Structure 1
């Protein structure tokens, strides 16, 4: 089932709603959309869960307004979807830029109604290096990426597809992957990358007490594995699951392990807090 849900006057986002049971709300990576989780949607529905895949504003089938690509606005859009669908006892699953957006959601709206958090190759606690954070990309690298998007977006997507995965993919798969990225608005991609460059959730992790699983590829060239280590240190109720043969697209590099660990976490009663 598909929904087009109004998240603010005149702006609607597209949501895929598949299966029945406990809802799992997936927030996708830049510059993709919820279709990237098609394998997970099937597995969840087969195992008694409800897949909720949001196309963030500016991406996929959602509206593409000029503004509203900061973490705060994106978190409010997720809240609008959850409220409209009257979702309870949800699992939040944030991938790449979806990581800081889901953390911001918990900071703004609290943990009530949320049972667990899954962070996948998260661009958190900060995508870029800061005075108080030495990991991540340099701001100049992000500025160069924005410039490349402006000059030749299709070529940049082709280059991005090649570095996204650690394991070789077919030409057909890479073409499909690129097509998902090119469904995004060019301005949406740029504004979201500016948000990644300028915002962070460094000061928000202490308030997250939910059982949290951190899935991250050891060979990730977009969000280095050091980010996952920092999240694990700073989130008191978290477990880190490394994917040794994976790049940023860990769910396609090691799909069997990813889906097994995902279902293990979703079906578990929780994780043991760190001392």
Structure 2
């Protein structure tokens, strides 16, 4: 398997297909680069070089016990970009991956980047704080950690067949294949990485990171996102970005890159070519 080794000796699995302008994908919690199949195949066929990695502790990357925080996530992404010598790259992040992209650009600069896209992403901050009263109570994320530590397999199945793809909504038609694939990706990763990752994606404040991202950034968010409510995420992120553009989708769920791939891919392609 293709891997790179980070400065703290963690092996990170990656995919690197095709040639042309690089599009670099950062996946959500608790998944892997496989969650980008619909996007990687679409853009590969349209002449782009598509790159995606499994976050440390996730997928086929090494299951280490520490470093499950946004700074390490950003540094691992930078290690992939540098090892593959990517330039003029378009960075696309979903959910936690959107936070990873924003922290990477703020921490490592924009010299190798051309554009960015945040899809259903966690910035500016998910947890409720004095400065962010519209956030989600910390007790909710504490419970998620309990579920991960004590009944991860059952919890992941329920999450995939419920709010992640909006399959709990009246009239929804659940896809067993999509649900099973989500569960498969999650269970390949490490419980410790997933447990610590809850704090990383919920408690990290990306407000200053967003203010420092100057490249064109497209913010996409579903208006029926039950995981990262769009009013306190996508809407606020777009306002903080100096060069941000917001597009929302009525009725679309958190996992819209999969369930609504045709629409999302078309909008991404238009942004890439603009």
Length-normalised TM-score, structure 1: 0.94
Is residue 220 of structure 2 the alignment partner of residue 215 of structure 1? yes
Distance 1:217 1:253 in 2: 11
Pairs within 5 Å for 1:46-195: 46-161=45-160, 162-166=162-166, 167-195=172-200
Distance 2:262 2:176 in 1: 21
Distance 1:10 1:111, change over 3 A: closer
Asked if 2 retains the 8 angstrom alpha-carbon contact of 1:245 and 1:253, the reply is no
Give, in angstroms, the shift of residue 202 of structure 1. Answer: 1.5
Q: Helix, strand or coil: the match of 1:245?
A: coil
Alignment coverage as a number of residue pairs: 267
Distance 1:196 1:255 in 2: 24
Distance 1:9 1:201, change over 3 A: closer
Structure 1 unaligned blocks of 5 or more? 269-275
Deviations 1:186-237 (A, max 9, x none): 0010011122233211222221111010111110011001111101111121
Distance 1:175 1:46 in 2: 26
Give, in angstroms, the shift of residue 117 of structure 1. Answer: 0.6
Is residue 255 of structure 2 the alignment partner of residue 249 of structure 1? yes
RMSD: 1.2
Give, in angstroms, the shift of residue 148 of structure 1. Answer: 1.1
Distance 1:85 1:159 in 2: 37
Give, in angstroms, the shift of residue 9 of structure 1. Answer: 4.3
Give, in angstroms, the shift of residue 6 of structure 1. Answer: 0.4
Q: Helix, strand or coil: the match of 1:177?
A: helix
Asked if 1 retains the 8 angstrom alpha-carbon contact of 2:122 and 2:202, the reply is no
> Where does residue 235 of structure 1 map in the other structure?
241
Structure 2 unaligned blocks of 5 or more? 167-171
> Where does residue 206 of structure 2 map in the other structure?
201
Deviations 1:13-45 (A, max 9, x none): 000111111111111000000001111111111
